[in-house]
Amino acid sequence: MWETGVTQILRKWREQGHTRLDCAKIVSTRTSRGGLDQWRWTVPTSANRSVSVKDVAAAAGVSLGTVSNVLNKPDRVSEATRQRVLAAMTDLGFVRNESARQLRSGVSRTLAYLMLDASNPFFTDVAAGIETEAETHGLTVVLCNSGSRGAREQAHLELFEQQRVQGLLVTPVDPDSPTLDAVARRGTPVVIVDRTRDDDSLCSVAVDDVLGGRIGIEHLLDRGHRRVAFIGGPADLGQVRDRLEGARSAWSDAGLDPEDLLTLRTEDLRVADGREAGQRLVGLPASRRPTAAFCVNDLIALGLLQQITQAGLRTPDDLAILGYDDIDYAAAAAVPLSSVRQPRQQLGRTAADLAMTEAAGGPHTHRRVLFTPELVARASTLG
Amino acid sequence: MWETGVTQILRKWREQGHTRLDCAKIVSTRTSRGGLDQWRWTVPTSANRSVSVKDVAAAAGVSLGTVSNVLNKPDRVSEATRQRVLAAMTDLGFVRNESARQLRSGVSRTLAYLMLDASNPFFTDVAAGIETEAETHGLTVVLCNSGSRGAREQAHLELFEQQRVQGLLVTPVDPDSPTLDAVARRGTPVVIVDRTRDDDSLCSVAVDDVLGGRIGIEHLLDRGHRRVAFIGGPADLGQVRDRLEGARSAWSDAGLDPEDLLTLRTEDLRVADGREAGQRLVGLPASRRPTAAFCVNDLIALGLLQQITQAGLRTPDDLAILGYDDIDYAAAAAVPLSSVRQPRQQLGRTAADLAMTEAAGGPHTHRRVLFTPELVARASTLG
DNA sequence: TTCGATGATTGAAACGTTTTAATCCGGAAC
DNA sequence: GTTCCGGATTAAAACGTTTCAATCATCGAA
């Protein structure tokens, strides 16, 4: 029986990575079986526990509840003890444990924004809008970046839900993803940013992309262009689809031949894709080459501008360029870029607002907010 | 005595916002005084409790500990029960409560990066580096933006510390701020990103700015410039100070008159500040105007480029421009911008790595990592 | 048969807060 | 002198996990 005990101890001991057995640490306990076949021992613990309200209470000579009151309802505690508690806190280096706070109170103080692409200034501007709105309500915003990757988006969504954030703003890879519905159904307010759904199953804030496409083409028509390229992709992206739809309808409304509205697809929406599109455009014989390009976002427009400039073409004389988003760098480009501007900051502010009102409880019906884009004409189309 | 009881009840009742008193809800309790002067009542609670492990356990017919094991040590539980528990989870829509998890286990699964300016692509690139490194270790990264505002930085630091993040990466407004030391002393690993301190009191990852300044000036000297403006501010910013120091020492090493290295201060480091500096530069008589400008970052360089182009000057013939950071938009500018490149992504990766090793425990000595910048010459200085 | 080993499962104790009913106490009102 | 009131304070019960010793069941070897 003694053997058994020792064997068991040694196994566990080894499992825990110990190499030497210190018998002084072994203490016997009795079991229901009546024998000495179970053992317990202590290991030296690196007593690095952090300071808790309990410690503060002890140091200040008050009860634990009073410390909590100092933190949460300062007016309920007399000035003298308040000072004493505050002093104890700084003395001991007390840091409130947010996990415990949130677990007990059930309320989180953060709003989350899951960005599609943090390197695109459009989304950081939206984020800035969210931040300003959240700040006025005393919430902090945490940002995450999916980088257009579904798996990462999924992982971030899960973590945010587990963290019980107050609201979850997201520019999703696919706005129709059922994951979003699942999250919302389980109780986290979800707001789709810069995308929409056809139904009203979730709150969303976006800009009227069909109208934006129309505005862009109308501007180019005004400037006399009759052979235009629409550059953008991927084809299944809602933004691209809608803007193209608007462009096409404006084009046909003007009674022009659909053939003359060339569509150039790109892999993605980055500067590199614009350069690549530029190469294809430059490769066309001058007679068939469009006189203007309407890019589905500014990054593509910038890449295009750079590429065709390198190839010796001039903007807007040889090729007028119209972008979309009006990011700060658009105005600072080699040839200041005309662009369709979206109210980015307001997009963020409104989204945050929707999330917070939904989180506040009360009767809620999902809202779909649609902003109107506006044309900003600069040298790249004016000449 | 009856009166007293009713008075007390009514007061509390009113405090809770009730307008009508439902006597059926009142239940008397006896107190130590023996009288009926204390009361208790129940209010209808909106039973909206979320699903917990307890519920899952009940549904699956196992104990609460087993559910936890399915979550954390799946190999310790038999396949059959594992499936049963998993099924119960999806049926009930169970979402693990991260607060409770972290409170009990004491371990957080997130790394935080507090950015100085989310709209500056330099920092989002650093963030991308952090993300890739963290991902390989199974951590998620949350981003926050201080927008160069000390108060907001402070608030975010506090929240992150309260959340007990595993590591806290920060590009601070002021790297010498004692707040950072305080946070680190209390146990959160802190890594300063893209800034350094003179002492080694914290881990930091940065790029050798003195060397960067030197490299920049040497390039301009190579191109034959003998009257150069160094543009940047604020003067008390470490980056600005160091790059200027490097620039000056390279200048004097070449045996040139310090007077000919003009210094133009700017308010901040944004595009608008570059434009403003451009106006001042254009205002100078051509004879005294520098032939090249070395800007302390690309945003200023872009603003400068835009402004002097508008004023009819040409780059690089009338004014060569050299930036710093080599952000993507530098290459895409009207005149592709020469720039001093910093290894942004690697900066982020290394910072994340430092934080995680410090968090892993064990003996730790703070490290100061310094990367070497490199010159990327483009049309804005080559012509 | 019995004992020991192994693997699956359970029960109960944490973790650090917030919440809330209860207590205490000095003073005002009767 | 009671009685009542209100403000300050306290004690104890949550919150939803993870952890870990203890138990249970099964099986192989002695």
State the SS3 of chain B: CHHHHHHHHHHHHHHCCCCCCCHHHEEEECCCCCCCCEEEECCCCCCCCCCCHHHHHHHHCCCHHHHHHHHHCHHHCCHHHHHHHHHHHHHHCCCCCHHHHHHHHCCCCEEEEEECCCCCHHHHHHHHHHHHHHHHCCCEEEEEECCCCHHHHHHHHHHHHHCCCCEEEECCCCCCCHHHHHHHHCCCCEEEECCCCCCCCCEEEEECHHHHHHHHHHHHHHCCCCCEEEECCCCCCHHHHHHHHHHHHHHHHCCCCHHHEEEECCCCCCHHHHHHHHHHHHHCCCCCCCCEEEECCHHHHHHHHHHHHHCCCCCCCCCEEEEEECCHHHHCECCCCEEEECCHHHHHHHHHHHHHHHHCCCCCCCCEEEECCEEECCHHHHC
Q: Which nucleotides of C are covered by protein (CB under 7 A)?
A: 3-12, 14-24
Decide: residue B154, CB within 10 A, 0-12 exposed, 13-18 middle, 19+ buried. middle
| CA–C1' nearest nucleotide, residue A65 | D10
Contacts of B197-201 with CB under 8 Å at 24 or more apart are B197/B368, B200/B366, B200/B367, B200/B368, B201/B366
Helix count (H) and strand count (E) of chain A? 15, 14
Which of A34-38, A97-101, A118-122, B237-241 shows the lowest per-residue confidence on average (mean pLDDT)?
A: A34-38
Check pLDDT > 90 for residue A4.
Answer: no
Cα B316 to Cα B301: distance, rounded to the nearest angstrom? 13
Check pLDDT > 60 for residue A254.
Answer: yes
Check pLDDT > 70 for residue B48.
Answer: no
Q: Is the CB of A45 under 7 A from strand D?
A: no
On the CB side of B106, CA atoms within 13 Å amount to 6
**A124 near B CB under 8 A:** yes
**B91 near A CB under 8 A:** no
Cα B373 to Cα B215: distance, rounded to the nearest angstrom? 8
* CATH numbers and ranges of domains, chain A: 2-41 (no CATH), 53-96 (1.10.260.40), 106-206+345-371 (3.40.50.2300), 209-343+375-382 (3.40.50.2300)
Q: CB B332 to CB A131 under 8 A? A: no
| CA–C1' nearest nucleotide, residue B68 | D18
Q: Check residues 240 to 269 of chain B and report those whose beta carbon is under 7 Å from nucleic acid strand C.
A: none
Q: Is the CB of A72 under 7 A from strand C?
A: yes
Which of A168-172, B1-5, B115-119 shows the lowest per-residue confidence on average (mean pLDDT)?
A: B1-5
Query: Given this model, what pLDDT does residue A32 score?
Result: 28
Cα A100 to Cα A104: distance, rounded to the nearest angstrom? 6
Cα B291 to Cα B230: distance, rounded to the nearest angstrom? 11
Query: What percent of chain B clears pLDDT 90, i.e. is strictly above it?
Result: 77
| CA–C1' nearest nucleotide, residue A73 | C18
More confident of the two residues B196 and A362: B196
Considering only the beta carbons, identify the residue of B124, B163, B186 that sits closest to A93: B186
CA dihedral B179, B185, B187, B191 (to 10 degrees): 60
| CA–C1' nearest nucleotide, residue A101 | C17
**Tokens at residue A13, please?**
């001991």
pLDDT, average across residues B212-228: 97
Check pLDDT > 90 for residue A36.
Answer: no
Cα A195 to Cα A239: distance, rounded to the nearest angstrom? 8
Q: Which residues, 6+ apart, have CB-to-CB distance to A295 below 8 Å?
A: A231, A232, A274, A301, A304, A321, A322, A323, A324
Q: CB B95 to CB A50 under 8 A? A: no
Cα B232 to Cα A131: distance, rounded to the nearest angstrom? 28
Q: Beta strands A374-376 and A338-341: pairing type?
A: antiparallel
**A358 near B CB under 8 A:** no
Cα B104 to Cα A143: distance, rounded to the nearest angstrom? 26
3-state SS class at A96: coil
* Model confidence pLDDT, tens digit, residues A43-76: 332 334 589 999 999 999 999 999 999 999 999 9
CB atoms within 10 A of CB A196: 20
| CA–C1' nearest nucleotide, residue B57 | C10
Considering only the beta carbons, identify the residue of A128, A144, A329 that sits closest to B329: A329
Cα B212 to Cα A149: distance, rounded to the nearest angstrom? 35
* Model confidence pLDDT, tens digit, residues A260-285: 999 999 999 988 899 999 999 999 99
Query: Given this model, what pLDDT does residue A353 score?
Result: 96
Q: How far is the CA of B69 from the C1' of D22 (A)?
A: 17
Q: Which residues on chain A are in Cβ contact (under 8 Å) with B101?
A: 162
> What confidence tier does A238 reach under pLDDT thresholds 50, 70, 90?
confident
Which of A315-319, B153-157, B304-308 shows the lowest per-residue confidence on average (mean pLDDT)?
A: B304-308
Q: Which of residues 28-57 of B touch A (CB under 8 A)?
A: 48, 50
Query: Given this model, what pLDDT does residue B11 score?
Result: 43
Cβ–Cβ under 8 Å, residues B275 and B299? no
**A116 near B CB under 8 A:** no
Q: CB B147 to CB A163 under 8 A? A: no
Query: Given this model, what pLDDT does residue A50 score?
Result: 83
Q: CB A143 to CB B140 under 8 A? A: no
* Model confidence pLDDT, tens digit, residues B28-39: 332 322 222 233
Q: In chain B, what's the furthest Cα-to-Cα distance? A: 100
Q: What are the φ and ψ backbone dihedral angles of A112, each rounded to 5 degrees? A: -115, 140
Q: Count how many pairs of residues, chain A against chain B, have C-beta atoms within 8 Å.
A: 143
**A107 near B CB under 8 A:** no
CB atoms within 10 A of CB A103: 18
> What confidence tier does B49 reach under pLDDT thresholds 50, 70, 90?
low
**B161 near A CB under 8 A:** yes
Q: CB B118 to CB A128 under 8 A? A: yes
Q: Is the CB of B104 under 7 A from strand C?
A: yes
3-state SS class at A128: helix
Omega of the bond leading into B175 within 30 degrees of 0 (cis): no
Q: Beta strands A190-193 and A38-41: pairing type?
A: unpaired
CB atoms within 10 A of CB B352: 30
Cα A40 to Cα A38: distance, rounded to the nearest angstrom? 7
Residue of B nearest to A126 (CA): B119
Q: How far is the CA of B51 from the C1' of C2 (A)?
A: 47
Burial code (b: 16+ CB inside 10 Å, e: under 16) for B117-130 equals bbbbbbbbbbbbbb
Query: Given this model, what pLDDT does residue A70 score?
Result: 96
Q: CB B131 to CB A145 under 8 A? A: yes
Beta bridge partners of B341: B325, B374
Residue of B nearest to A163 (CA): B98
**B93 near A CB under 8 A:** yes
**Amino acid (1-letter code) at residue A321:** I
Q: Check residues 56 to 115 of chain B and report those whose beta carbon is under 7 Å from nucleic acid strand D.
A: 64-65, 67-69, 71-72, 94-97, 100-101, 103-105, 107
Cα A221 to Cα A226: distance, rounded to the nearest angstrom? 7
* Model confidence pLDDT, tens digit, residues B227-239: 999 999 899 888 9
| CA-CA-CA-CA torsion sign (B6, B9, B14, B19) | negative
Omega of the bond leading into B189 within 30 degrees of 0 (cis): no
Q: CB A142 to CB B145 under 8 A? A: no
Q: What is the mean pLDDT of chain A?
A: 86
